[in-house]
Chains A and B, each alone.
Chain A
Amino acid sequence: MTVEIRVQAVKPLRNTFGHIARRFGDKAASRYQEGTYDIQSEVNHHYKPLWDQERDLYDKRRTAVEMRDWYALKDPRQYYYGSWTIARAKQQDAVDRQMEFAEKRELLRSLPEAARKAIVFALVPLRHFEWGANTNMCMVSAYGWGTAVTQAASMATMDRLGMAQHISRLGLLVDGNLGDSLVQAKNYWTDHSDWQPLRREVENLMACRDWFEVILAQTLIADSLVYALFFNHFDSKFSAENGPGLSTVLDFLTRWHDESNKWVDAVVKPVVAESESNRAQLQAWADHWRTAFLSALSPIAQGIMGPIGRDTLAEINTKLGTRLVKLGLQDHGVAL
């Protein structure tokens, strides 16, 4: 790029930073590139963490998985803070319109009692599932290695909080802002027998401290099963019986999930492809957590879908198997 200053042309001396040029050549770089690659400190750390004296501050050993270059986990959405926030703000504008409409027309509040109860039982407790996901993605953002994956995890952390708050707003749409639905939903989450196995696995995952295992278990396994079951299948069943009001306010969640999946796939694939030992490790994790979450979802699947609950879950599980194969893993026919 040249520029005219008085009668002289001024050429830039270089087109980007040294570390970017070493990766991509000395040409103009994108904002995603300049904001992401090689930003995290890598060497010469000063002190042993008081909370983990066996490791360094940033330490590749916090996962069993190994990569020559953790920056291979680049985000296909190319989200740096600015592009992420602006994208979410745009999406949120649309959501606000949907929610205002739903509130003004009392789309949820005016449903028959059984339908309102079904929403509170089936969906509102997921605000806690989202809080668990927030906890897990926050762990990744804290202890992961390299700006590429940790910044995406940090954004995912805030996204999950956004989802949790959105689901909370659904409850308020049902109960007219009294908050009763939230109290009720929390009781279901903590005490209702249908919900306990899922809560158990969420807590088990919160206890896991291998950050890549957590990415896999949360975003690839648990989210695939949960989002399909509740926001796809339950929503379809509910709409068939009660009209499309609920679907309009679930739209945000399903769109977000579809977008997020692009990132998940882009992060898992290179790790699988890197080495046989990575592939074997991811396979083991995938099999373990798939079994755990499938079995954990069985009671609530039946609770919300009725007799077709088992088959619904089986169908979702088959789709997950297909996706695993696309990512380079095997579908070990894990079943209920």
Chain B
Amino acid sequence: MSHSTQPVFIALQANNDTMPIVEAILADNPLAIAHEYPAMVKIDAPGRLVVKRESVEERLGREFDLRELQVNLISLSGSLDETEDEFILQWNAA
């Protein structure tokens, strides 16, 4: 199944806890762009966006369970696939 380039996004509360997560996402998704809104940061990417546990841990300085994303998550778009190591949003093309 080929991948689409339709936009996916993840939106997080803009606070101290999410700074390392945002950094990790931007580092691992070269085409992603972060938009800042009041109290919120929205990261858009074409077709696919991945949050990697290891990348977050590197920047956080402690163990991180990807399910912790839920505490600061505001919204998302795209089909979700979640494992211990990766939280992936993507659209599949027809």
Are any A and B Cβ atoms less than 8 Å apart in their complex? no
Binding site for B on A (CB under 8 A): none
Binding site for A on B (CB under 8 A): none
